Amino acid sequence: MVLEATILCLDNSEHVRNSDYAPSRLQAEADAANLLAGAKTQANPENSVGVMSLAGRAPRVLTTPTQDLGSVLSSVHGVKIEGEINVVSGVQVAHLALKHRQNKHQRMRIVMFIGSPISAEEEELRAVGKKLRKCNVAVDVVSFGDVEANKPKLEAFMSSVNKNNNSNLVEIEAGANLADVLCGTAIFNQDGPAVGSGFAAAAAAAQSQAAMGGFSGEGGDMGDMGDDPALMMALRISLEEERARQAAMEARGEGSTEAAAEASTEGAGSVDTSQPAHAADPMMLDDDALLQQALALSMGQEGAQEGAPAPAIDEEDDPELAAALAMSLREHTENADGDTA
């Protein structure tokens, strides 16, 4: 539950076109950044996250630290590949963006994704690291792509910036999934391993996935809607109404005698006896009565022909309703026997 302001520095140099991390280095780091932004905002409601790009003509702040996850995701989404990274000035720009944060209670943190060779000298990095350390800025570095080439420089940088173990260096070999590997590291779990980390990461993943779904304009498939019970219930009810309407149409088409018989049995056996006269006209009924009628109809059909498809409603939901239906079914079959006899 650390209260902090974080700047995510993305590597958008030409090197991140490489697709040794699926689908490409840029996409992999963007996914990881989205996940991390979600995890940070979940960790504390007052946390804020900003985004900047390290390459291009100059390092650029795309979003100043904000609590609005949507603007973070959209700016990560809009990063364009251009030029070479400049770590030294990038870190300084990030520090400047953090320095003027609204809430001085927030600790400052920079998370850098480095996926291309660092051109800056080791001494430069050491000096800027020292300056950051003096200003209480923590720096996490995610090294991927050119891990071996950057190792000595990044280790020198980390040794000068680290204060009370607040900074971490994570190196990810080619082929691994950036987001998956990061989930298990100290960058995600600052409070130590397994302090609700799985939950935070899962929540963040769901959140960022939902947000990405919103971006691309896809409604998502039915599987994703499974976690919204209200929506599922609305869908089920509307399906049942449609089925009931079709069943009523069929019943009317088959002949008035059967429809009348159905109506009379319903009036005799069903719990709902308030509107037996209107039973034939589905448009005149309210939803509940319509549902009752549809159930009675489908149950009746099932009683008539054994092995017919099961009715839409699950009967475990309402034992009283199930009992009433069973009673009405029995009476219906008895009546039918009486009619034929």
Partner 1 sequence: MARDVGDLIDVDASECLNATDPRAWTSVLARGTLGEPAGALASDDDHELLIRLVFVVPVRARALVIRSPTTRADADVSGVGTVRVFVNGQAMGFENVARRKPAQTLEGAGEHALDATAFDRVRALTIFVESNDKGTARTVISEIRVFGDALASTDVAALKPC
User: What SS3 state is found at 169?
Assistant: strand
Here's the x/- map for partner 1, 227-246, by CB under 8 A: it reads as --------------------
Q: How far apart are CA 275 and CA 168, in angstroms?
A: 72
Distance in Å, CB of 90 to partner 1, minimum: 17
Nearer to partner 1, 95 or 332 (CB): 95
1, 135, 233, 277: which one binds partner 1 (CB under 8 A): 135
Q: Which stretch binds partner 1 (CB under 8 A): 132-140, 168-176, 209-217, 256-264?
A: 132-140
Distance in Å, CB of 20 to partner 1, minimum: 38
Distances from the Cα of 183 to the Cαs of 200, 230, 266, 307, 338, in angstroms? 10, 32, 59, 51, 70
Residues making up the chain, counted from first to last? 341
Contact between 123 and partner 1 by CB under 8 A: the answer reads no
Question: What count of other Cβ atoms lies within 10 Å of the Cβ of residue 171?
Answer: 16
95 to 114, contacts with partner 1 by CB under 8 A?
A: 99-100, 103-105, 107
Instruction: Write 277-285 long-range contacts (CB < 8 A, 24+).
Output: 280/248, 280/251, 280/252, 282/244, 282/245, 282/248
Distance in Å, CB of 44 to partner 1, minimum: 15
Q: How far apart are CA 117 and CA 24, in angstroms?
A: 17
User: What SS3 state is found at 259?
Assistant: helix
Nearer to partner 1, 135 or 231 (CB): 135
162 to 181, contacts with partner 1 by CB under 8 A?
A: 163
DSSP state of 313: S
Nearer to partner 1, 129 or 269 (CB): 129
Residues interacting with partner 1, by CB under 8 A? 99-100, 103-105, 107, 130-131, 133-136, 163
